[in-house]
Structures are given as C-alpha cells and as structure tokens.
Structure 1
Amino acid sequence: MQVRSTVAAYFGENTYLLSDAQTGQAVLIDPGSPLPFVVQWIEEEHLTVTDILLTHAHVDHIAGVPYFRQKYHVPVWLSEKERDVLENSIRSYPQVLGDLREKLQPDHWIHEGDCLTPFQLKVLETPGHTHGSVVYQSDNALFTGDTLFFGSVGRMDLFSGSESDMKKSLRKLFSLPEDYIVYPGHDIPTTLKQERSINPYVRYYLQDEE
C-alpha cells in the first residue's frame, strides 16, 4: 500500500490517497477540499478510486466529498455516531459547504471492527474529539484523523467532544501490540512509539498505567 498525502486548501487538513500499484485500486481518506492535483495523481498512475473514508464529520475533513464523489461515483463511509456532527458541520459552515446536504450524506455507516476493502482497513472507534471519531488501522499504519497528532491530540472542547472519551481512546490505541506509523489529520506523520515518549497528552492520560 502506497500512502500519498496533501494539505487541503480550506483548513490545512491532511487528505490521504492510498493506492496499490498491482491492482490499481485507491481510496481517499478525509478529502477536506476539492483537490484537482489529487485527480492528476490518480490519472497519472491509472488508479481506480473505490471508496471515500471519513474519520469524522468536521467540515475540514468533508468539504471535498461532493467534488470527489461526483468525479468518481464511489461510496462514502462514516461512523453512524457522527450523524449529528455531520448536521452540525453543514449548519455551521454554509459559506464552505453551501447547499450540499444530500451530497454529503454517507452511503454506508461504519462501526467498531468493520473491515473495509480494498486495503482491509479495520475500523477502531475512538471518541474524544467527536463522539463518532474513528481510526483506520492497516497492517502497519493508523489513520488517526483528529484523535492523535504529532506531539498532541485533538481538541475536546468542540461539539460532542469528551476528555473522558479521549482518555479511553488513547489507551485503546496504545494498547495495540505493535508499533504503527501514525498518519494524522493535521501536521506530520509520527509513530505510536514516538508519541508514547514525547507526547505530553499521551503521557498524562496513560500515566496511571505505567
């Protein structure tokens, strides 16, 4: 699996393109803006986009969904627990999302333990930043959205955020038996091992486990 990323124009969010050179299949994770040069990547590599996966429903992670959905006619996946967060984003950012209510509705609701093709990405429910936030887990990578960043974690003071949920979610991620590359919703990639060492939020929330 090849991972390419770019910073979306509207809010500085990371959009990820996962692809397999052998099969030619690809998925998008958190398209935060219309990104024509991502389309260029896809066309240059002769990829077939099969799905759009969302880690949560904040506007900076969904604003590009209508653009890519219209371009590729592929299903959109989102946690069922994000229904009200999605509606809140649509209401709160009409200047960005416009009248796109129907075009932003997911085709499939996802839940803990679901495994999504073509890359067999396992869904881990990680509430805290929002109550329907998820992480997508592959063999060696975690796409963490706004749950875990390099040296930080997602805000917990926004609509449906919860510090107690974030603590449980971080413990869940750091109980995974192997190290993983972390591809966050903002900033640069990191690893679980590095975050356990340097991230003050992680150390604080895990301190009574040490």
Structure 2
Amino acid sequence: MVALEIVQLKTSDMENFSYLLYCPQTREGAIVDPSMRPQLVLDEAVSRKVKVRLLLNTHGHQDHITGNGDILAGGGIQLAAHPDAVPAADIALSEGMQLPIGNSSITVMDTPGHSPGSVVFATADAIISGDTLFVSRCGRADLPGSDVSQLYTSLQRLKQLAPTTRVYPGHDYGPMPSSTIAWELEHNEFIKCPNLESFIALRMG
C-alpha cells in the first residue's frame, strides 16, 4: 500500500492544525479538520495538484469544524465524521472503517473521551490524533460530553501502536509540531499513567 503524504497546516489563532492527506500516485486526497482558515488547506491542495475527495472531522468542536462549509461548497467532496460528533455527515464513521484514498487508505479508530464521537485517523505509519493526544499532553476531559475514563482507555489504545508511528495532533501545544508514539511513551506524563486513578488525578487535578 502506498504511503500517504501528510501536510500539516496552522489554521487558527487557537493553534489548530489542519491536514491535507493525499496519495502521491493518484493525487487523490482528504482534508482533516479545516478549522478557521480553510482556504489555506484548499490553496495547499491546489498547489500540490490534489483532488480532494473527503473531508474528515476528528470530532465536533467548533474550532475544528468551522471551515467545513467552505470546503464542501465546491462540491464533489463527502463529509465523514462520527455520528455522535457531526450527525449530518455523509459518511458515518465507526471503529475499524477503512476510507480509501487513491492507492491507500485510512483506518478509523474510535477514541471517545475528550468529546463524544472523537476519532483518530490512522495511516500505515502515522495517526492524526485530533484532541485525543497532543505532543506531550492529551485533550481536556472537563468539557460538556467529556469522559475522563473513556479518554484514559483511548490513550491506552494509542500507546499500543508501533513506536515509530508518527503523531500529528489537533493543536500545536507541545515542544514540537509532531512526534512519535515512542517519544510520547518517554515524555508524555498523561500517556505514562499506570492506571485510571493516577490519570484522573493528573488530568482533573
């Protein structure tokens, strides 16, 4: 399977990251979380001659999905999100779903906790982790619909991924824009918590 190209773009004053993913062979691609400056992602797709087929949302918070309408306005693009996050999406995402992109695909991982319907998008060698996992941190669990126990479980799933897996977060909150699972296992105190009780004390303290 062809490795997808992943382009990371800063698209808000809230340090949001948006992403353009595409197959280098077919130039078919997807946009993830267009945030507040969707034109930046559209311009990047044009400059790279990428035909965007899918718009993917990691979760339903407004700082991530505000630009959805602008992306979809051109037509020919399907919106994909978990029904608990964006109920009106064209494609209702669920655990293990495969989304084809050219000669490759993305796998959906159900990772609730930060918000209902939070998902992570996994490629062969990377994850786009939304607000579930940041570089050196994790998402909040004190917002409406958050569940700290679910967030702990979701992080336990992610820490089982291959150590070389690249981590592309939803915000630029860490010491660098991206990392690896190995780096997080060494430096991220949230993902290092040995049990739920210690995680709750750290995250909610």
Scaled to the shorter chain, the TM-score interval is 0.7 to 0.9
Is the deviation greater in 174-183 or in 114-123? 174-183
Shift of 1:9: 2.4
Matched, 1:150 2:135: yes
**What root-mean-square deviation, in Å, do the aligned CA atoms of Structure 1 and Structure 2 show?**
1.8
Look up the equivalent residue of 1:66 and give its one-letter code: G
Runs (4+) off by over 4 Å: 205-208
Q: Does 1:196 align with 2:185?
A: yes
Letter in 2 for 1:107: D
* Correspondent of 2:26 among 23, 28, 38: 23
- Structure 2: runs of 5 or more not aligned: 198-205
The reply to whether residue 183 of structure 1 matches residue 168 of structure 2 is yes
Matched residue SS, 1:203: coil
Cα shift at 1:34: 3.6
Moved more, 74-83 or 111-120: 74-83
Counterpart in the other structure of 2:107:
122
TM-score computed with the length of structure 2 as normaliser = 0.85
Q: Could you give the per-residue CA deviations for residues 5-64 of structure 1, whole angstroms, max 9, x where no partner exists?
A: 111125321000012232011110111024323322222222110100110000011011
Give the aligned length.
188
1:167–1:205 Cα contact (<8 Å) kept: no
Q: Give, in whole Å, the separation in 1 of the partners of 2:72 and 2:138.
A: 29
Percent identity of the aligned residues?
Answer: 29
In the alignment, the residues of structure 2 paired with residue 115 and residue 206 of structure 1 have an alpha-carbon distance, to the nearest angstrom, of: 31
In 2, the alpha carbon distance for the partners of 1:165 and 1:7 equals 28
Which has the larger share of helix?
Answer: 1
Whether the 8 Å contact between 2:152 and 2:196 is mirrored in structure 1 is no
* Cα separation, 2, equivalents of 1:166 and 1:196: 16
Amino acid corresponding to residue 125 of structure 2 in structure 1: N
- Contact 1:56 1:133 (C-alpha < 8 Å) held by counterparts: yes
Q: Distance in 1 between matches of 2:124 and 2:16?
A: 24
2:94 and 2:184 mapped to 1: Cα distance? 26
Q: For the Cα contact (< 8 Å) 1:28–1:51, is it kept in 2? A: yes
Which segments of 5 or more consecutive residues in structure 1 lack a partner in the other structure? 87-104
Relative to structure 1, is the Cα distance of residues 9 and 207 closer, same or farther in structure 2, using a 3 angstrom cutoff? closer
